[in-house]
Amino acid sequence: MVCHSDGLHVKQSRGFDQTLAKAHRQLGELEARLARGRTRKTREKVEVEIAGILAPRWVARVISWTLTGESPAELRLSFATSQAARAALETELFGKRILFSDKSIEEASMA
């Protein structure tokens, strides 16, 4: 049985806000570093760094990014958070609890 808990939903949303803030901070630092044009990292290594920043649970579902340029001095990063994707994520996952029981649905509803 799947139940919705408002308290769990709020806590998951707050925790995800913190995770998103950290990802935004890290992406902003990377964006600024690339804008200065003083990086020596190849495009592939920058993409690996971005993937690492977006690795925490669900972050890649709500943050989109674009990396332009080919040589290290030309690389530029832009990123954005999709509020629609965030809302869909909250509807799909946040606040849900799965309850396991050996009772049938009829028995559980009578209790």
* Residue numbers of the chain with a pLDDT score lower than 70: 105, 108-111
Amino acid present at 86: R
What local confidence, expressed as pLDDT, does residue 18 receive?
98
What local confidence, expressed as pLDDT, does residue 99 receive?
74
- The structural domain count of the chain equals 1
CA gap 7, 4 in Å, rounded: 9
**The overall pTM is greater than 0.85:** no
Range of the domain at 94: 2-110
What local confidence, expressed as pLDDT, does residue 108 receive?
62
